[in-house]
């Protein structure tokens, strides 16, 4: 990985136990073909493995019947495995949301987990971003996945920050969360409308290479559209600048976790602002060439008495207008978490804030809280098996 002295410290993934082969899941068809050639096999065997893992969602080498039995035995004897992450535990919310502990096989320490979320019907976060399509009778859902275990950014309102950064996830571990959730819900890729948001644990742009490698896998191998993907960053300027160079055929939409109308408040709730203030973040975002009808999303968490007052709404509207960007604002009423000393704004204050923004001519949408009772809502993810007594865990 290139040196990133201008970013927060990155942690390397844990080394594999001695003698174990790295998982095949996470390699694209070209890399798998090269592995097969190295083993004296024709390159098309690699493409067969890719098809089995990413289209058929097979999890064991012996299930890949397009491979000859002697080759399957040989690969197994040599220690190769698919090694796709799996759901070790699922929690079900009263609103239908599901939160998962995702366990990694063969690529990290035993029993290490991260978290992903399935939101049937989504939470309204994609509204107005240029990906709306109501012309078809889609089955709609949103999948939220993680890019790291823990997070180093230390946003004061976020439960994941309590963990600190434990390690980066590799491309297979990120993409594997998506495939595991799609398989659980029997999603028909290309037929069901499923939005994918990189808004779980971690800061994707502090794990940039692995994040984008996962995106390329999901687009080129699994068949998902980048127009149905959104990545949220706290404002990692070097990452945004790299992101601006990505070709549109594999680039997700961009969301900026803004959460305050000015630098003074933002630096208090998001210490990263002291390194990259709002103006620097906006300058970097301006380098992203948007597709037709695409908008930048500014995510804004409403903290009771801190960022939710009418003056904040008017200041935020002026800020968004001043950027000159094709943009919209997603409002999120803060989701409570243990040990975090903020309050959720009242319904009246949230609606007043939204109305003021709309009155200022800003496209503004309210993201609905999903899965609060199982700590699955925005800002609540934490590597834990805790859940409320109202939500019972289900088997995976």
- Catalytically active residues are 115, 378
d(CA 357, CA 353): 6
**Is 144 annotated for ligand binding?**
no
Question: Are 278 and 309 within 8 A, CB to CB?
Answer: no
What are the Cα distances from residue 204, in Å, to 181, 262, 292, 341? 19, 24, 25, 26
Nearest to 68 by CA among 86, 32, 41, 88: 41
Q: Per the annotation, does 258 bind a ligand?
A: yes
H or E segment to which residue 355 belongs: helix 347-359
322 labelled binding-site residue: no
Q: Please return the burial class of 183, using the count of CB atoms within 10 Å of its CB with bins 0-12, 13-18 and 19+.
A: middle
Instruction: Please spell the DSSP secondary structure of 292-344, one letter per residue.
Output: TT--EEEEEEE-TTTT-SHHHHHHHHHHHHHH---EEEEEEEPPP-TT----P
Q: Does 257 belong to an annotated binding site?
A: yes
Residue 89's DSSP bridge partners are: 101
155 known member of a binding site: yes
- Helix, strand counts (H, E) of the chain: 10, 13
Residue 289 burial (CB < 10 Å; 0-12/13-18/19+)?
A: exposed
Task: Indicate if the alpha-carbon torsion angle 19, 23, 24, 27 is positive or negative.
Answer: negative
151 labeled binding residue:
yes
203 carries a ligand binding annotation: yes
Q: How far is CA 85 from CA 170, 299, 328, 333, 359, in A?
A: 11, 29, 34, 32, 46
DSSP string, 8-41: PPP-PPPPPPTTPPPPSBTB-HHHHHHHHHHTT-
First to last CA, the chain: 35
Buried b / exposed e over 352-381, threshold 16 CB at 10 Å, is bbbebbeeeebbbbbbebbbbbbbbbbbbb
Distance CA 73, CA 62 (A): 8
Binding residues: 151, 155, 158, 202-203, 232, 257-259, 335
Where is the binding site for S-adenosyl-L-methionine, in residues? 202-203, 232, 257-259, 335
User: Which positions make up the binding site for [4Fe-4S] cluster?
Assistant: 151, 155, 158
């Amino acid at each position: 990985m290139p040196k990133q002295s201008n970013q927060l410290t990155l942690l390397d993934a844990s080394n594999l136990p001695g003698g174990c082969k790295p998982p095949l899941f996470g390699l694209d068809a070209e890399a798998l073909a090269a592995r097969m050639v190295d083993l004296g096999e024709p390159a098309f065997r690699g493409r067969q493995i890719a098809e089995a893992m990413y289209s058929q969602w097979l999890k064991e080498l012996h299930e890949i019947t397009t491979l000859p039995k002697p080759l399957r035995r040989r690969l197994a004897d040599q220690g190769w495995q698919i090694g796709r992450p799996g759901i070790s535990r699922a929690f079900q919310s009263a609103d239908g949301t599901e939160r998962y502990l995702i366990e990694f096989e063969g690529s990290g320490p035993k029993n290490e987990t991260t978290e992903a979320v399935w939101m049937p019907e989504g939470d309204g976060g994609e509204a107005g971003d240029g990906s709306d399509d109501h012309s078809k009778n889609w089955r709609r859902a949103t999948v939220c996945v993680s890019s790291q275990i823990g997070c180093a950014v230390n946003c004061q309102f976020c439960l994941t920050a309590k963990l600190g950064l434990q390690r980066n996830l590799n491309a297979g571990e990120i993409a594997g969360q998506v495939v595991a959730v799609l398989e659980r819900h029997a999603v028909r890729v290309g037929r069901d409308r499923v939005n994918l948001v990189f808004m779980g644990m971690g800061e994707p742009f502090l794990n940039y290479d692995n994040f984008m490698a996962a995106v390329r896998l999901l687009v080129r191998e699994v068949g998902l559209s980048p127009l149905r993907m959104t990545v949220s960053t706290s404002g990692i300027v070097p990452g945004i600048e790299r992101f601006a160079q990505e070709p549109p055929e594999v680039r997700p939409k961009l969301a900026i976790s803004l959460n305050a109308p000015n630098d003074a408040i933002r630096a208090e709730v998001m210490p990263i602002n002291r390194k990259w203030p709002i103006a620097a973040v906006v300058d970097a975002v301006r380098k992203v060439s948007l597709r037709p009808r695409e908008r930048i999303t500014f995510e804004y968490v409403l903290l009771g008495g801190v960022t939710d007052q009418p003056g904040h709404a008017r200041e935020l509207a002026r800020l968004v207008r001043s950027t000159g960007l094709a943009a919209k604002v997603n409002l999120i009423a803060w989701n409570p978490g243990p040990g975090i000393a903020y309050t959720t704004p009242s319904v009246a204050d949230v609606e007043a804030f939204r109305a003021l923004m709309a009155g200022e001519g800003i496209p503004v949408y309210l993201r609905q809280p999903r899965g609060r009772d199982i700590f699955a809502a925005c800002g609540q993810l934490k590597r834990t098996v805790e859940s409320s007594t109202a939500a019972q865990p289900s088997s995976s």
